[in-house]
Chains A and B, each alone.
Chain A
């Protein structure tokens, strides 16, 4: 598989780092600004994919292994369902916003635990953004890594 030039190799990692930070910033502002979990996760995956294509899978500085991808993907899905089930248990509705509690259905302690610590009373929405962002980040990265490795196998086969 062809790799990037020296200039690309010099600049790709810092650009990846800043793209990832921008993605995290997008995830964390999902409840008050445009964007959210999916968009921020896609931006983080964009940073990882940039490093993948410039350095190659063997030399990638941001190394998402199979176990890491599997663990984060599982955590994202389970945390989303878990947040929904807490609303179902305490308020009778799946994904009820227990951190904001507009209808005064949940105990104060539960509301305090799930209240996102900022000034906007967003409740569990930022947590949903975060878990969706983590899931999308590893999902899109895994797709790109898999396609890259398929391509490598194809080229190895052609050379033989």
Chain B
């Protein structure tokens, strides 16, 4: 059985924080598609090393960690803005 609590709320908290990430020309941290893919692979590896919470046996990875990462990236692309507009 899939435990939706950490998946859902990890995504929501990630979206809230991701909405504040900005990558305009002034910031210039180089957040390209390739770097996001690399970060996602590292996030999956970290989540696999962390393992899931006790009593949760749905996935071998920390679902809260992965959903928070996905929420951060989604929040950045859906709601992220430049500093001038924030």
Q: List the interface of chain A (C-beta within 8 A of B).
A: 9, 13-14, 17-18, 20-22, 24-25, 27-29, 32-33, 44, 55, 58-65, 68, 72, 116-120, 126, 130, 133-134, 137
User: Which residues in B have their C-beta under 8 angstroms from that of A22?
Assistant: 46, 65
The answer to whether A117 and B29 touch (CB under 8 A), given A17-B39, A63-B22, is no
Residue in B closest to A115 when the chains form the complex, CB atoms: B5
Contact A117 B72 (CB under 8 A): no
Question: Bound complex: CA of A117 vs CA of B23, how far in Å?
Answer: 35
Q: Given the complex, which residues of A lie within 8 Å of B3, measured CB to CB? A: 117-119
B27 at the interface (CB under 8 A from A): yes
Task: Report 23 cross-chain contacts, Cβ distance below 8 Å, ordered by A residue.
Answer: A13-B29, A18-B43, A21-B46, A24-B68, A25-B62, A25-B65, A27-B13, A28-B10, A29-B53, A29-B64, A33-B54, A55-B29, A61-B21, A62-B20, A62-B21, A63-B22, A63-B86, A116-B5, A118-B56, A119-B3, A119-B55, A119-B56, A126-B5
Q: A61-B29, A119-B3 are in contact. Are A25 and B64 (CB under 8 A)?
A: yes
How far is B53's CA from A142's CA once the two chains are assembled, in angstroms? 30
- Interfacial chain B residues near A58, Cβ < 8 Å: 26
B interface residues, Cβ below 8 angstroms from A: 1, 3-6, 8-10, 13-14, 16-17, 20-23, 26-29, 31, 39, 42-43, 46, 50, 53-56, 62, 64-65, 68-69, 72, 83, 86
Partner of A25, one of B5, B10, B39: B10
Q: How many A-B residue pairs have CB under 8 A?
A: 103
Bound-complex Cα distance A32 to B64 (A): 13
Given contacts A28-B64, A119-B3, A120-B55, contact A21 B43 (CB under 8 A): yes
Cβ-defined partner of A118 (8 Å) among B5, B20, B26, B31: B5
> Which residues of A have CB within 8 Å of B9?
28, 126, 130
CB nearest neighbor in B for A24: B68
Give the distance to chain A from B64, nearest Cβ to Cβ, in Å. Answer: 4
